[in-house]
Structure 1
Amino acid sequence: MSSRHEAAEKLGRRSFLSLGAGVVGAGALTFLPRSVMAKSTANDSRTLGFFNTHTNEILKATYWQNGAYDRSAVADINYILRDHRSGDVYSMDLKLFDLLTTLHRRTDSKKPFEIISGYRSPVSNAKLASASNGVAKRSMHMEGKAIDIRLRDVKLADLRLDALAMKAGGVGFYPKSDFVHVDTGRVRHW
């Protein structure tokens, strides 16, 4: 999906909900269930909640249930994690979703992951890298294997410690920018 118009049309089809900046700023962010989402009582279900800080979209999706990935829910997650600059959607690494599920459970958070950056197109990544030394020129964001996040009910330092304890991939700590980076690459931290 390359144009913003197409992205906006897809937004409606994907049953995303948006909130005004005032509501989010007031701390009233809540999960709103999608009418198409299957209600799962199975112990093996995996559900993720997201709030995109750039688009104000909210998503709660059960992407794994009854022993399999739900393609529709995975597509919804890929969409909310799209490059907000270009509208490009990418197939994210399913291991990243599992990493986030485990991290969310470890923190005992009741809030959705706030997305600072999910997928980044090569063009977007190059622009960011040229403006900052904190952006890798070969970022795992371009491979759909990384996300920058925070949880409103978990201290950033604690989120970092829980991610490090998992030893599931890379963990970057950016307290001045108020986010933690996690990826499915080799275990390392910065």
Structure 2
Amino acid sequence: MIELRRAGPEEFAASIATVIDIYTVAMRPPDDQLSGRQSIMRHHATYPDFTCLLAEEADGAVIGFGYGFHGSAGQWWHDVVRRALEEREGAPAAAAWFDNALEIAEVHVRPEYQGKGVGRRLVHGLCAGRGERTAVMSTHDEPTAARHLYRRLGFVDLITMYVFPGGYERYAIVGAPLPLPPMP
């Protein structure tokens, strides 16, 4: 049985090698991106109201993780995406989604555990009991299992076919009102 366990910023930082390993097997990024991703993840743990869940087997082996934090001005993703939504949909739409948002930065599960409800439980667990009005995140803008999962959880497209500055991959920026609907 897979259990979810909260990890604070210090434990998350201490677990970064495990987290990066899961990220690597789940996302298969180019090797040259891993040191930068590790630095970004460590920095995220310093953001306000950081929350992390580790998905563990009975023996304590971590097979998945997810984390997020309260989004605010001055955070790169928050500023870039909010500005893009404002340009496309106007200031009121951007404010509605980003003025009081939980930003889910990462949700990853080892491939052999995908499709078994772990990702769904991670997203629900990250959103549970939060004081924010919305949850927002980015995901590859492709018909992936993750994209399908987020739709089933109530996330809607805010921006599609979005390429981050300096990037080349297309992402969908998605959001959901909180609290999420109960899990079936």
TM superposition score category, shorter chain reference = 0.3 to 0.5
Higher helix share: 2
Higher strand share: 2
TM-score by length of 1: 0.34
TM-score by length of 2: 0.35
